[in-house]
């Protein structure tokens, strides 16, 4: 399956005005073979094993709205890709360090982070990368020091390509690099987009989440035009979906209507399991391997590999 080569603009106008509710608000029984997106479920088989690793495909996990599942998706997609035999590097590119915390790392206790690699010429990226509890999944951690980099990079020549220069020495060692972006469209996020081959946009199934999508896509278009011609949208991932509510189902229908095939078939339902994994510092594929959340991220990993 290949990503459609069409413009990033949505196919339909994104309106925040709610559609008229149907006469019967009760959720319809899901038709056999129809997924939560309202489209027929497509079977994507397990990917074949790789004969060799690298060079990596870089995916920026990006949405300027906070709390939409960027960090959760980065951790769990990475773990699912590793289950399928892919070597994965997770890059914590958010000064809040949530990705590091979610993998059991205490950011304030770190002596070196991605900040040191970016701003200090004598710190090698290989020396900062850490192993995680998941085989074949490594972490390039971050903490609050990274917030200073956005200010310090302003006067640097080629500041938008700092991250791609940082990752270059290890790109051949991995199959996927997942960059967890901060909830803004500042210089750090532009760096992630300038380094990426694709963008994965987690989108919470509620109306306020739709408001910033047009601005994000406009930023992606500008980066593609001016800094990174190979950049494409890998897909939009619906998160925090609650099939019991009319609201979630209406937002899902609106997103699929607007973006079509860019929207992944895989949908991440709202569940208490995800907060539990954050406390445990493990991906859901290890904490609750048979849960619907773990299976959803495995399905997403198959789609990402197929695209």
pLDDT the model gives residue 11: 52
Q: Is the peptide bond before 13 cis (omega within 30 degrees of 0)?
A: no
Rounded distance between C-alpha atoms, residue 181 and residue 178, angstroms: 9
pLDDT of the residue at 215? 86
Rounded Cα gap, residues 203 and 225, in angstroms = 24
pLDDT value of position 211: 76
Q: Which pLDDT score, from 0 to 100, does residue 207 have?
A: 80
Domain positions in the chain are 57-306
Cβ 219 vs Cβ 193: under 8 Å: yes
Q: Which fold has domain 57-306?
A: Rossmann fold (3.40.50)
Q: pLDDT truncated to tens, each residue of the chain (307 aa)? A: 544 544 455 555 554 444 433 333 333 334 457 889 888 888 899 999 999 999 999 999 999 888 899 999 999 999 999 999 999 999 999 999 999 999 999 988 999 999 999 998 899 999 999 999 999 999 999 999 999 998 999 988 999 999 999 999 999 999 999 999 999 999 999 999 999 999 999 999 888 777 778 889 999 999 999 999 999 999 999 999 988 889 889 989 999 998 999 999 999 998 877 877 777 788 999 988 999 999 999 999 999 999 8
């Amino acid at each position: 399956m290949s990503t459609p080569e069409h413009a990033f603009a949505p196919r339909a106008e994104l309106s925040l005005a709610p559609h008229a509710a149907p006469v019967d608000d009760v959720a319809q029984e899901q038709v056999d073979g129809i997924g939560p997106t309202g489209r027929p479920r497509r079977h994507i088989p397990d990917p074949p094993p790789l004969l060799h690793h690298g060079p990596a495909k870089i995916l920026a996990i990006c949405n300027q709205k906070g709390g939409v599942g960027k960090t959760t998706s980065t951790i769990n997609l990475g773990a699912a890709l590793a289950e399928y035999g892919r070597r994965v590097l997770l890059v914590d590119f958010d000064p809040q360090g949530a990705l590091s915390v979610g993998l059991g790392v205490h950011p304030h206790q770190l002596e070196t982070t991605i900040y040191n690699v970016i701003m200090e010429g004598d710190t090698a990226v290989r020396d900062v990368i850490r192993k995680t509890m998941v085989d074949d999944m490594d972490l390039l951690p971050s903490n609050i020091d990274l917030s200073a980099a956005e200010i310090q990079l302003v006067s640097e020549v080629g500041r938008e390509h700092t991250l791609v220069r940082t990752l270059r020495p290890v790109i051949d060692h991995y199959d996927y690099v997942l960059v967890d972006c901060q909830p803004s469209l500042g210089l750090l996020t532009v760096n992630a987009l300038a380094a990426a081959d694709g963008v994965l946009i987690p989108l919470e199934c509620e109306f306020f989440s739709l408001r910033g999508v047009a601005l994000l896509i406009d930023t992606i278009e500008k980066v593609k035009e001016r800094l990174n011609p190979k950049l494409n949208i890998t897909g939009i991932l619906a998160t925090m979906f609650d099939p019991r509510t009319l609201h979630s189902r209406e937002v899902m229908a609106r997103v699929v209507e607007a973006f079509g095939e860019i929207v992944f078939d895989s949908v991440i339902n709202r569940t208490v399991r995800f907060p539990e994994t954050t406390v445990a510092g493990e991906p859901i594929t290890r904490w609750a391997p048979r849960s619907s959340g773990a299976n959803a991220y495995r399905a997403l990993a198959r789609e990402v590999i197929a695209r």
